[in-house]
Amino acid sequence: MSGLADDEAREPTLEDLAAALQQIEVGQFLLSTASTLASLAYGKLEQQKLEEAKTAIDAIGALLPILHGHVEESLLADFDRALANLRIAYADAASGASD
């Protein structure tokens, strides 16, 4: 068998994907989403794309309260600190942009 045939045989089916989705815990997925949003927000701040950074920061702020009781409190505390740092960084960037 060729390598190409092996790769095609290993592609997940729709049923495989559906089964994988059923295994995902919503709290962990939302925490992962918050982490991705934090990375995006920092990147947007570095690029001075303040409107996009603010959208990501606001989304994190909306997600974190939902996570209480669904993920470890120590993780939430870390994300609360990260959110506070992002808000400060945004405020600094916004005040610098208006000068």
Q: Is residue 89 in a domain?
A: yes
> What is the pTM (predicted TM-score) of this model?
0.79
pLDDT in tens, 71-88: 999 999 999 999 999 999
Listed in sequence order, the DSSP H helices in the chain are 3-9, 14-23, 26-46, 50-67, 73-97
Q: Is residue 90 in a domain?
A: yes
| Residues spanned by the domain of 91 | 25-97
Q: Is residue 75 in a domain?
A: yes
Residue 62 half-sphere exposure toward CB, CA atoms < 13 A: 8
Total domains in the chain come to: 1
Local confidence band at 96 (pLDDT 50, 70, 90 cut-offs)? confident
Q: Is residue 29 in a domain?
A: yes
pLDDT in tens, 18-40: 998 899 999 999 999 999 999 99
Q: Is residue 5 in a domain?
A: no
What pLDDT sits at residue 4? 55
Candidate from 4-18, 53-67, 77-91 with smallest mean pLDDT? 4-18
Q: Taking all residues of the chain, what is their mean pLDDT, rounded to a whole number?
A: 90
Q: Is residue 7 in a domain?
A: no
